[in-house]
Amino acid sequence: MTSGSTLFFPAAIWIDNVPLTDQGRAPIQRSRDERFTTTELANGTRKRYTKAVKHTFSTSWTYLADDDLCNIDGYASRATMLDLFGDTEGSHTLRFFYQNGKWEEFTVFVNSYQETLVRRDPQSGNFIWELSVEFEES
């Protein structure tokens, strides 16, 4: 994270207090998942009771380097992401930072994680990946 302090904004996404790189990241898609129960009454009318409103968050990265130091901002890259949430179970703390200095925090688990090796550069030894992830609020 040596060069990260020279950028105007900090990383937009942090997971478990580790900033994820913004380099090659697609926009974050946020969707609402309303969990409810529908009950039909004796007179034929139906009522809906909302149990909870949860969110899912998904994003992807293209041409993502394997090593943090190969990113323009020095933040977490493919290898770090794999260690943080690619091969692990359990819940994580997902934090989004906004331009005005505000942030939101969610407790999430990884719903899906996919990575594809796009290129191996024999001269530099770098591996380039495409990665997509979906988090679901717990």
Residues 107-128: tens digit of each pLDDT: 999 999 999 999 998 888 889 9
Q: Is residue 5 pLDDT above 80, yes or no?
A: no
Residue 64 lies in a domain: yes
**Domain assignment of residue 14, yes or no:** no
Beta carbons of 70 and 77 less than 8 angstroms apart: yes
Contact 98, 8 (CB under 8 A): no
The pLDDT value given to residue 6: 41
Domain membership flag for residue 9: no
Q: How distant is the alpha carbon of residue 119 from its chain centre?
A: 23
In a domain, 13, yes or no: no
Is residue 91 one of the residues assigned to a domain?
yes
Q: Is residue 2 part of a domain?
A: no
At 89 the three-state DSSP class reads coil
Is 1 part of any domain? no
- Read off the pTM: 0.81
Among the ranges given (18-27, 72-81, 96-105), the one the predictor scored with the smallest mean pLDDT: 96-105
In total, how many domains does the chain have? 1
As beta bridge partners, residue 84 has: none
Res. 36: pLDDT tops 70: yes
Instruction: Find the domain containing 23 and state its range.
Output: 19-137
Range list of H helices, the chain: 78-81
